Amino acid sequence: MEQAGRAIRLGLVGIGKIARDQHLPALAADKRFELVATASRHATVDGVIAHREIGSLIGGGHDLDAISLCTPPEGRYAQAVAAIDAGLHVMLEKPPAATISEIAALADRARAKGVTLFASWHSREAAGVAPARDWLRGKRIDAVRITWKEDIRRWHPGQDWILAPGGFGVFDPGINALSITTAILPDAVLLESAWMEVPEGRAGPLVAELRMRSGTAPVEASFDFLQTGPQTWDIEVDTDAGRLRLSMGGSILQLPGGEEQKAPDQEYPRLYARFAELVTAGESDVDIRPFQLVADAFVLAERRIGAPFAF
Ligand code: NAP
């Protein structure tokens, strides 16, 4: 377990796209962490001790303090249980688990064991999100429109797991929009109705629309995983003081009458800073509201079967 003054000795699990694009650079730049070893069935990181699976990573004599899980959500529960039971702090990629019951059980288990559990939502760390939340405070919210449209073949090439059971389909990116929406709106967001289109032979939807409500304001979300050309990750909020617009996944904020506000992408450095703070404070951060909305959509949505999909 961690000792005062030394870096948090971390094992990184699931060396795929997000681990390489974001976790490795963020860890390399943060002195509060030391990447000690990895676990991945096929992949390795140059210069870092590699294991094939989390069991041998945890049992490998590395004197670990923490595990960060970058595997797909299906299967993450067992990995998190192994880490928590070994007394390690755990950071989870989004979505935090394959089911609501799993993440609730993990939160209980971490509490009982006295370790930190951090269910991360990287989009909440986008530059515009905190100022948007602050600006909206005290304003009347009249309507919210979420447009989250990206090309699955461009951003998730060959990731068959994303359309398999537990892969979330278009809600894998869509949950990012919901993580921002639940963070910036003062009132609870509730799902009223939804439809989704699932390609023949797959489990996860490629297209979905959600009609929600926050206080008296309608909140509409349009998710599309087949968007070619310009990619759209926008949230617009109409208020009694004009329209707030978050674009590019929350990184650009436009307030009524103002210039666009943007700042360099610091989402993953901020996530690891938050994880370090939580570990130091002996606290956890597990907000399941974005996940609940997705689970509600899977319960309530009208299903349509679409054309078969191939990467
Ligand atoms: P990915 O490229 O498929 O990487 C995940 C890695 O986990 C795989 O390379 C694989 O490495 C390992 N793995 C373990 N069990 C697996 C299984 N049953 N099926 C597939 N891979 C398995 O996926 P990713 O894009 O990095 O996404 C991982 C998580 O990060 C997801 O929850 C996703 O929502 C989140 N995320 C992704 C992005 C993004 O832009 N891609 C952005 C933010 C968050 P081995 O084969 O070596 O075991």
Q: Based on the domain organization, do 137 and 256 belong to the same domain?
A: yes
- With 80 as the cut, is the pLDDT of residue 1 above it? no
Q: Based on the domain organization, do 130 and 245 belong to the same domain?
A: yes
Indicate if ligand 1 lies below 6 Å from the C-beta of 93. yes
Indicate if ligand 1 lies below 6 Å from the C-beta of 94. yes
**DSSP structural state of residue 36:** E
| Contact (CB, 8 A) for 308 and 200 | yes
Tokens 């809600």 belong to residue: 171
- With 70 as the cut, is the pLDDT of residue 276 above it? yes
Q: Is 91 a domain residue?
A: yes
* Residue range 146-175, pLDDT digits in tens: 999 999 999 999 999 999 999 999 999 999
Residue 83's domain comprises 8-119
Indicate if ligand 1 lies below 6 Å from the C-beta of 204. no
Q: Based on the domain organization, do 85 and 162 belong to the same domain?
A: no
Tokens at residue 53, please?
A: 């699976």
Residue 75 — φ and ψ, nearest 5°? 105, -15
* Residue range 38-74, pLDDT digits in tens: 999 999 999 999 999 999 999 999 999 999 999 999 9
Catalytic site includes residue 94: yes
Indicate if ligand 1 lies below 6 Å from the C-beta of 292. no
Give the CA distances from residue 269 to residues 31, 219, 273, 275, in Å, rounded to whole numbers and listed in that order: 11, 30, 6, 10
Among candidate residues 255, 112, 132, 238, the one with its CA nearest the CA of residue 183: 132
For ligand 1, atom 10, name the residue with the nearest CA: 14
Which residues, in sequence order, are bridge partners of residue 92?
A: 69, 119
Q: Based on the domain organization, do 176 and 302 belong to the same domain?
A: yes
Indicate if ligand 1 lies below 6 Å from the C-beta of 172. yes
Q: pTM of the predicted model, to two decimals?
A: 0.97
* Mean pLDDT within 248-252: 97
| Contact (CB, 8 A) for 173 and 225 | yes
Report strand pairing: 217-224 vs 207-214: antiparallel
For ligand 1, atom 8, name the residue with the nearest CA: 16
CA 159 – ligand 1 centroid, Å: 8
**DSSP structural state of residue 271:** H
Question: Cα dihedral angle (7, 11, 15, 18), rounded to 10 degrees?
Answer: -50
Nearest atom, ligand 1, residue 42 CA: 47
CA 19 – ligand 1 centroid, Å: 8
Among candidate residues 196, 200, 245, the one with its CA nearest the CA of residue 223: 196
What's the number of domains the chain is made of?
Answer: 2
Distance in angstroms (rounded) separating the CA atoms of residues 280 and 231: 39
Q: Based on the domain organization, do 55 and 171 belong to the same domain?
A: no
Q: Is 279 a domain residue?
A: no
Among 119, 149, 175, residue at a domain's last position: 119
CA 290 – ligand 1 centroid, Å: 19
Distance in angstroms (rounded) separating the CA atoms of residues 37 and 13: 9
